[in-house]
Each structure stands twice: as C-alpha cells, then as structure tokens.
Amino acid sequence: MPESFDLSKLDEVLSHYRGERGALIPVLQEAQNVYGYLPEEVLRRISRDLKVPLSKIYGVITFYAQFYLTPRGKHVVKSCQGTACHVRGAKGVLDSLCRELKVEPGGTTEDLRFSLETVACVGTCFLAPVIMIDRDYYGKLTPKRAVDALKKYSPDGKKEEA
Ligand code: FES
C-alpha cells in the first residue's frame, strides 16, 4: 500500500510556477524541501500539473545528485574518501560507520535517523580523516571516535534537538 502524502503544500508550490517555462527543477527542489525526498505520488502530481512526462522527471532526478527518491535520515553523515583522508585511514572509519549504522554507503538507517554518504573531499584535508555530520566536522578520527561522534546525535545525545 503506497504511503499517502498531504499534497496541499505541493499544490501551493505548483501554483507559484504554473505556466512558467523551466519550472521543473525549482518545483522539484521545493517539493523535496517540503517532503524531505521525492515520493512517487508527488512526482505524479508534478507530472500532471506541469505536463511533463514522468519519464522525463525521473531522467532529471537521476541526473542531479541533489534529488532523492527515498527517505533520508534526520542526520546526514558524510565520510570523506578523498586522497588525504584515504591515506590516513578513511576506509576503516567508513567501515566502522557502516557496521554501527548497519547500512552501506548511500543507505539510510531503518529508524530514519542517519543517512550515510561518501564524499571526495570536504576541504579540511589537514584534519584527515574527516567526517561531517550535518554541518559539523569531525577530524583526525579513528574508527572508534567516528562511532562516538554518532552518539551525540542519538535520541539522548546533545545534538538531537539542534
Ligand atoms: S581528502 Fe578528506 S578533507 Fe580533503
């Protein structure tokens, strides 16, 4: 049974863009801001309203890395796998995060608390190996310290309501 979404907020977004050329990408961005990702039901409504075939919408979504077709975690963990981090043990850090969260890179935990991603360089090579959790940087990590960083974002952790 597909999940049902309150489409009234989407209708507000669509009403701003109706009849405008080039509306698809801004509509997708705003829809993702509303729902956190782009569920099929939302895409079908956008397709109907903007008169853009669903296949074309999926083509746009898969082209741009900023769009998500599945729910994302409340917190996004980015594990840097760039060269500086790689030579300082980023693989071990990533493995420990995968084990702790029980997800592969690109995955989201069942409780929707964390999504885990890999990135090429977050621009703080002097802190290698680095992870980011939301907007926070954690550097000079060991696998254990990376897992400890996650704990701040658990339900009783300090960052939960940040
Ligand atoms: S390679 Fe990881 S921060 Fe640059």
The model's pLDDT over 102-111, given as tens digits with 9 standing for 90+, comes to 999 989 999 9
pLDDT tens digits in sequence order for the chain, 162 residues long: 455 678 999 999 999 998 888 899 999 999 999 998 999 999 999 999 999 999 999 999 999 888 999 888 999 999 999 999 999 999 999 999 999 999 999 899 999 999 999 999 999 999 999 999 999 999 999 999 999 999 999 877 766 654
**For residue 143, which of 102, 95, 111, 107 has the smallest C-alpha distance?**
95
The 3-state DSSP class for residue 158 equals coil
Alpha-carbon distance of 139 to 129, in angstroms, equals 6
Question: How many angstroms separate the alpha carbon of residue 121 from the centre of ligand 1?
Answer: 4
Give, for ligand 1, the residue of 87, 121, 132 to mutate: max count of ligand atoms closer than 8 Å to Cβ.
121
Give, for ligand 1, the residue of 87, 117, 125, 137 to mutate: max count of ligand atoms closer than 8 Å to Cβ.
125
Q: Name the packing angle between helices 40-50 and 24-35 (round to 10°).
A: 150
**For residue 114, which of 62, 67, 58, 159 has the smallest C-alpha distance?**
159
pLDDT of 160 reads 61
pTM summary value: 0.74
pLDDT of 162 reads 47
Instruction: Please give the class, per CATH, of domain 75-151.
Output: alpha beta
Question: How many angstroms separate the alpha carbon of residue 147 from the centre of ligand 1?
Answer: 19
Sketch the domain layout of the chain as residue ranges: 8-63, 75-151
Question: How many angstroms separate the alpha carbon of residue 55 from the centre of ligand 1?
Answer: 36
